[in-house]
Chains A and B, each alone.
Chain A
Amino acid sequence: MELFDLTIHELHAKLKTKEISSVEATKACLQRIEATDERVNAFITVTADSALQAAAAADSRIARGEMDLLTGIPLALKDIFLTKGIRTTCASKILADFTPPYDATSWGRLQQRGAVLLGKLNQDEFAMGSSCESSAFGATRNPWNLECIPGGSSGGSAAAIAAQQAIATLGTDTGGSIRQPASHCGCVGLKPTYGRVSRYGVIAYASSLDQVGPMTRDVRDAAIMLGAIAGHDPLDSTSVDCAVPDYTAGLQGDLKGVKIGLPKEYYIDGLDPDVKSAMDRAIATYRALGAEFVDISLPNTDYAVACYYLIATAEASSNLARYDGVRFGHRAADAKSLAEMYRQTRAEGFGTEVKRRIMIGTYALSSGYYDAYYIKAQKVRTLIMQDFLKAFESVDVILTPVAPTPAFKVGEKTADPLQMYLSDIFTIPVNLAGTCAMSIPAGSSAAGLPIGLQLIGKPFGEAEIIRAAYAFEQATEWHRQKAQL
C-alpha cells in the first residue's frame, strides 16, 4: 500500500507511531499529483511549497505530542472554498486571478487541527453542473476511465481521491454535487443537513441549498471529517447551534430492527440495469444485516428537478451579481461606459452554463413572473420537505440510487442541458428538503465504473446514516476497489 492511498485513520496511526512523517506523506501525494494530474486534471492549483511547510509544522506538532486525528493529513479543497493568500477561482475566468484575504470557516477548522492543504480542486464553474465539464480550467476526467466524466460539480474532489492524489477532500453539494461525483468515482461523499456546516467563506451558488461536506475513501474518514467541520459558526446566520456528536463513536452499532425506506418514485423503469442490480444486491446485504425494509412514497419527487432549477437559479442570479468587475476579479478592458464595462466583464468572465442559469433565475424573479415561478417553486419545496418528514415517521433511513446511470462519457450531455440536469434527479430532493444524505460505493458497472448507493437521513441524523453506511462497508468490498491509472 502506497502512502498516498491510505485513509485518514490509517495515515494517522502511522503518523502517531512516527512510522512516517507528514512531510513524507505530503511528498508522496505531491508526486502522485505530478504523475497523474496531466491526465486527470483534478487540480486547478497545487500548493506544493506551502503544503510542505504545513507538513513540517504538523510534524513538529506531532513531535510535541499535540496531535489530532487530522494533524499532518494531506487534504485538498474544491476551489469554491476561500483560502487566504491562495488563489480561489471557483473554476471561473471571472475569478481566475482572485486571491482571497480570508479563509472559509470549514477550511479554518481543518487548518487549526493541523491538516495540510495540497491544493485547490477542479469543479464545474460556480458549482453549476453535474460533470465537471463547465470549468474554465478544462474538464476533469474520471480516474476509472479517462473518457468519462467524474461527476460534478465537485468532480475534482472525487477524482483526486480516486486518483490517489489526496487522502480526503472537501466538496459542496447544492443538488447532488458531492454525492453524484462520489458515486461516479467510487468514494464516500457526505452531504450534511443544511445548517450543520458553516457556509462562511464558501463561494455561494444557491444559498438556501449549498452545504459543505467531506469526500473520503471510507465511512470512518467521512465521520472524522464531518466532526471536524460541523458546528455553529457565528459568521453564518444559517448555521445551526446544535451539539456535534462524535460521529466515529456510533460506527459499530448493528442494524437489527433499523427500518429502511424504499421510495417507489426512485426505483423507476428507466433505471440503468447495472445501477438496478447494484441496488438489489445492496438491499439483500442490508436485509442480511438485520435491517427491515418498508415501501414508502415521496409523491412530489417528480417536481423536484423543476423546483430546484427555479430556486437555485433565482438565488444564483443574485449571488453572482457581485462579479461586476468593480472591486475584484476580471474586468473587461476598454469599456466606454459603466454599462458596457458590466456587460463585457460578465460576458467575458462567465461560461455558458453560468450565463444560462443567471438568465433563468433573473427571469424567475422578474416582476410578473415571481409568483408563477419563484413562489410556486417555494411551495413545491415545502411539499417535498413534508414528503420526507412524513416518510421519516415510519423509517429511520431511506435507501436510493445516487444517479440513474454510472459515469457517462465526456461531451455526451453537454449539448443537452436538460439531460444533464436529470442526472441529479435522485439527489436534488434531499437539498430541497434540507436534510442529510451520503453516497457510498456499492457496485460496479459492466464497463467497470463504480456505482454508489444513497442513504438519506433525518435532519441532523448524520450519525444514523453514517452507522448504516459503515455496516454496509464492513459487509462489502466495494470501497477497496481502486482505479488503475
Chain B
Amino acid sequence: MKYQPVIGLEVHVQLKTNTKIFCGCSTQFGSEPNSQTCPVCLGLPGALPVLNEKVVDYAIRAGLATPCQIAPRSVFARKNYFYPDLPKGYQISQYELPICEHGHLDIEVDGVGKRIGITRIHMEEDAGKLVHSDIPGLGSGSGVDLNRACTPLLEIVSEPDIRTADEAVAYLKKLHQIVVYLGICDGNMEEGSFRCDANVSVMPVGSDKFGTRTETKNVNSFRFVKQAIEHEIERQIEVIEEGGKIVQETRLFDPDSGTTRSMRGKEDAHDYRYFPDPDLVPLVISQDWVEATRQGMPELPEVKLARYQSELGLSLYDAEVLTATRPLAAYYEGGLAAGAQPKAAANWVMGEVTRGLNDNGLEIADCPVAPALLAELLALIDKGTISNKIAKTVFDEMWQNGGNPADIVAAKGLVQVSDTGEIEKIIDEIMAANMGQVEEFRGGKEKVFGFFVGQVMRASKGKANPGVVNDLLLAKLKG
C-alpha cells in the first residue's frame, strides 16, 4: 500500500521588540540570569500585565503579509499548566479569538507552485528556561532563568495542506524570509527566534480521512525539519505496515540521531483550561490601525521579485538572488537610486560585492563599499572613463582603503585611453615587433587576433579602451 503524508506546521516567531509583551523589561538575549525581570514577568502576587502595542503592530504586519483577516476584536486567554519556567502557572496566549485568521502562503517546490493555508496567527508570551548544569551557589540543583519569560511570540499555524518534507521546508523558508523582511523577527534559529513544531500523519493514498497525527517539537533548523518529518513519515508507515496503530502523542526531535522519540502520550496531555484573561481587556483593532500598519510595511519579497523582473528586466534567477534578504535588496536598490543601470548593478552586486563579502565573511550591511559609490564606479564604466576590468581594480581599492572611484582613477592614472592616435601608435609598435603573427593573421589564422589585443592592452597597462583597440587593430591587421 502507498501512503500519503499530511503535514501541518506550528511556527513560533520571537518578535524583536525592545521590551517584553506585558511589561517593560528588556528582551535582550544572553544577559545575566534573571537580570531582566520585574514583578510582572516574575509572576509576583498582585502584578498585572499591560499589553505592548508594538507586539500588536508586528502581529498585524505578519497577518497582512500572509494575507490573513485581522480580527477587529481579539481576546487574550490563559493557558493553565504548572512548570517551573512558567512563573504565573499560566501562559497568556490567545485561544478562541486570535488576532489573525484565514491566510495563506504560496510556495514552490521543483518549479511547482502550491498554496498553503494559514489557519491562524496569535500573540503569546514565552516561558523562561531551566538551567540544569552546575549553578554557582546552587550546586547540582536546577535553576530558573526568567529573562526570556514574557518575551513576545507569534504562533503561526498552517492548515494541514503540506504533503512532503520539501514542501514543509519551502513553507518555513518562505515564512522565515517574510518575518525577517518585515523586521519583526531576527530569524536566528539557533537562539530559538524561529522554531517549529510539526504535526505529521499518514493515510493510504486516495483516502480523504487523515490518519492519527503526532506532534514533533523542538525542531530548530530547516535541515532538522526535513529530517524530523521524513523520519516521522517512515516511522509511521513502518508501524502501520507491521499492523500497529499510530498513537496521538507529542514527540521530541533528537538532532544527534535525526530521529524522534515519544515525549508524552495523549493520556498525559494537559487540560489547559483556557479561559479569557480577566486582567486584559479585549483587544480592539480599528481599520485605521490596520491601514497605518500597512503603510509602514516594507515591500514584501514576493512583490519585489515580480517587480525586479517586470520593471527592471532582470532574470528570475537574478531577481531571486537579489531579493533573498531585505538588506541585500536594499543595497541593490541603493545603487539604483544613485543612478546605476539595473542589469550592470545586478551583475556587480551578485559578482564583485558578493564575492568580497564571502571572502571576508561579512554581511551586506557591513559592506565597505556603499551602494552610491558602487553606482559612481558603474557610471565611470558607462562613460568609458575606465574599462570593466580596470573597474574591478578600482573596486578592490575602494574595498580595501575606501575612497570614491573618480579620485582613485585619477590618483592611480587609470583613465581609459580612447585617443585613437595614441592607440594606433601602440598597435604599430606591436605589429612591427611581431611581423610573423601579422603574416599568420593575414594568411587566415584569425585566432592570433586575440594575441594582438592582449599585447596592446598590456602595453597600455590595461587602460586602452577595448572597443577602440578592437576596431583599430582589425583595420590595421587587415591592411
Chain B residue contacts of A202, Cβ below 8 A? 46
Residues of B within 8 A of A318 (CB): 78, 80, 89-90, 273, 275
CA distance A234 to B47 in the complex (A): 12
Assess whether B279 is in contact with A237, with CB atoms less than 8 Å apart: yes
Tell me if B462 counts as interface (CB < 8 A to partner A).
no
Q: Is A408 an interface residue, CB under 8 A from the partner? A: no
Using A322-B88, A326-B84, A327-B144 as known contacts, say yes or no to A366 and B271 having CB atoms under 8 A apart.
yes
Residue of A with least CB distance to B45? A203
Cα separation A203 to B43 with both chains bound (whole Å): 11
Majority secondary structure, A binding face: loop
A 287-317 binary contact with B (CB < 8 Å = 1; else 0): 0000000000000000000000000001101
A residues less than 8 Å from B278 (CB atoms): 206-208, 238, 315
In the complex, whether A460 has a CB less than 8 A from a CB of chain B is: no
Check A478 for interface membership: any CB of B closer than 8 A.
no
A/B pair count, beta carbons within 8 Å:
98
Q: Number of contacting residues on B, CB 8 A?
A: 28
* B45 pairs with A204, CB closer than 8 A: yes
Inter-chain contacts of B47 with A (CB < 8 A): 200-201
| Chain A, residue nearest B142 (CB) | A338
Assembled-state Cα–Cα distance A471/B44 (Å): 43
Contact between B45 and A321, CB atoms less than 8 A apart: no
Q: Among B45, B80, B273, B278, find the residue whose CB has the most chain A CB atoms closer than 10 A.
A: B45
Cβ A321 vs Cβ B279 within 8 A: no
Bound complex: CA A234 to CA B53 (Å): 13
Count of A residues near B, CB < 8 Å? 43
B154 CB–A CB distance under 8 Å = no
Cβ of A283 within 8 Å of any chain B Cβ, yes or no, is no
Cβ B50 vs Cβ A235 within 8 A: yes
- Whole-angstrom CA separation of A367 from B79 in the bound complex: 12
Q: Distance in Å from the Cβ of B270 to the closest Cβ of chain A?
A: 10
A83-127 interface bits toward B, Cβ cutoff 8 Å, 1 = contact, 0 = none: 000001010000100101110100000000000000000000000
Q: Is B39 an interface residue (CB 8 A)?
A: yes
Most B CB contacts (10 A, CB to CB) among A237, A238, A338, A367 go to A237
Q: Does B49 contact A (CB under 8 A)?
A: yes
Does A370 interact with chain B (Cβ within 8 Å)? yes
Cβ-defined contact, B49 with A328, below 8 A: no
Mask, A185-202, CB within 8 Å of B = 1, is: 000000000000001111
User: B48 within 8 Å of A by Cβ?
Assistant: yes
User: Measured between C-beta atoms, what is the minimum distance from A223 to chain B in Å?
Assistant: 26
| A82 CB within 8 Å of chain B | yes
Selected contact of A322 from candidates B49, B87, B280, CB within 8 Å: B87
Min CB–CB distance A124 → chain B (angstroms): 16
- Judging by beta carbons under 8 Å apart, are B275 and A200 in contact? no
Which residues of the other chain, B, contact A102 by a CB distance below 8 angstroms? 39, 44
How many whole Å from B26's CB to the nearest CB in chain A? 18
Asked if A324 lies at the interface with its beta carbon under 8 angstroms from chain B, I say yes
Task: Check: A147 CB closer than 8 A to any chain B CB.
Answer: no
User: Contact: A100 with B46, CB < 8 Å?
Assistant: yes
Q: Which residues of A contact B273 (CB under 8 A)?
A: 317-318, 362, 365-367, 370
Whether a CB of chain B sits under 8 angstroms from the CB of A421 is no
Rounded to whole Å, the gap between the CB of A228 and the closest CB of chain B is 19
B45 touches A88 (CB 8 A): yes
Distance of A322 Cα from B87 Cα, bound (Å): 6
Given the known A-B contacts A102-B39, A367-B273, are A235 and B48 also in contact in the complex, defined by CB atoms under 8 Å?
yes
Q: Does A286 contact B (CB under 8 A)?
A: no
Contact between chains at A207 and B279 (CB < 8 Å) = yes
Q: Which residues of A contact B275 (CB under 8 A)?
A: 314-315, 318, 365, 370, 374
- Let me know if B84 and A338 touch, CB within 8 A: yes
**Chain B nearest Cβ from A241, distance in angstroms:** 11
Give chain A nearest CB distance to B280 CB in angstroms: 5
Query: With A100-B45, A238-B281 in contact, do A321 and B89 touch (Cβ < 8 Å)?
Result: yes
Q: In whole Å, how far is B78's beta carbon from the nearest beta carbon of chain A?
A: 5
Q: How far is A14 from B78 in the complex, measured between Cα atoms in Å?
A: 51
User: For residue A235, which residues in chain B have a CB less than 8 angstroms away from its CB?
Assistant: 48, 50
Assembly CA distance A338 to B80 (angstroms): 17
Within the assembled complex, what's the spacing in Å between the Cα atoms of A200 and B44?
11
Tell which of B46, B90, B271 touches A201, judged by Cβ atoms closer than 8 Å.
B46
Name A239's closest neighbour in chain B (CB-CB).
B48
Hey, which chain A residues are within 8 Å of B144, CB to CB?
A: 326-327
Cβ–Cβ contact B45 & A237, under 8 A = no
Q: Are B271 and A321 in contact (CB under 8 A)?
A: no
Taking a contact as CB atoms under 8 Å apart, the answer to whether B44 and A237 are in contact is no
A362 CA / B46 CA spacing, docked (Å): 21
- In whole Å, how far is B82's beta carbon from the nearest beta carbon of chain A? 6
Contact of B82 among A82, A237, A321 (CB under 8 A): A321
Q: How far is the CB of A173 from chain B (nearest CB, A)?
A: 16
The yes or no answer to B381 lying at the interface (CB within 8 A) is: no
B42 within 8 A of A: yes
Question: Min CB distance, B178 to chain A, in Å?
Answer: 30
User: In the complex, what distance in Å separates the CA atom of A350 from the CA atom of B144?
Assistant: 24
* Contact code string B33-62 (vs A, CB < 8 Å = 1, else 0): 000000100111111111100000000000
Q: Which A residues touch B271, using CB under 8 A?
A: 366-367
B48-A321 in contact (CB<8A): no
CA distance A362 to B42 in the complex (A): 23
A322 to B280, CA, bound (A): 18
Contact with B along A310-352 (1 / 0, CB 8 A): 0000110110111010111000000000100010000000000
Quick one: CB contact mask for A169-185 with B, threshold 8 Å, 1 for yes?
00000000000000000
Given contacts A237-B280, A327-B144, A367-B273, contact A321 B44 (CB under 8 A): no
Smallest Cβ-Cβ distance to A374: which chain B residue: B275
Closest Cβ neighbor of B34 among chain A residues: A327
User: How does the 8 Å CB contact mask read for B264-277 relative to A, with 1 for contact and 0 for none?
Assistant: 00000001011100
- Cβ of A207 to closest chain B Cβ, rounded Å: 4
Cα–Cα distance between A370 and B273 once the two chains are bound (Å): 8
A236 touches B (CB below 8 Å): yes
| Smallest Cβ-Cβ distance to A311: which chain B residue | B278
Q: For B89, list chain A residues within 8 Å (CB).
A: 318, 320-322, 324
- Tell me the nearest residue of chain B to A208, going by C-beta: B278
Distance in angstroms between the alpha carbons of A292 and B44 in the assembled complex: 49
Q: How far is the CB of B42 from chain A (nearest CB, A)?
A: 6
Closest chain A residue, CB of each to CB of B43: A322
B-side contacts of A98, CB under 8 Å? 45
Within 8 A of B (CB), among A195-232: 199-204, 206-208
Q: In chain B, what residue has the closest Cβ to A362?
A: B273
Min CB gap B298→A, angstroms: 31
Contact residues in B for A100 (Cβ distance below 8 Å)? 39, 44-46
Shortest Cβ distance from B90 into chain A, in angstroms? 5
Are B50 and A237 neighbours in the complex by a CB distance under 8 Å?
A: yes
Report the minimal beta-carbon distance from A452 to chain B, rounded to whole angstroms: 29
- Over the window 77-101 of chain B, the binary record of Cβ atoms lying under 8 Å from chain A Cβ atoms (1 yes, 0 no) is 0101010100111100000000000
3 smallest CB-CB distances across A and B, nearest first, come from A321-B89, A208-B278, A365-B273
Chosen A-B contacts, 13 in total, with CB atoms closer than 8 Å, are A100-B39, A101-B44, A102-B44, A104-B46, A206-B278, A235-B50, A236-B50, A238-B278, A322-B43, A322-B45, A322-B87, A324-B84, A327-B87
Using A324-B89, A327-B42 as known contacts, list a sample of 17 further A-B pairs with CB atoms less than 8 Å apart, ordered by residue number in A. Answer: A95-B45, A102-B44, A104-B46, A199-B46, A204-B45, A206-B278, A235-B50, A236-B48, A237-B281, A238-B48, A318-B80, A321-B89, A326-B84, A338-B84, A365-B274, A367-B271, A370-B275
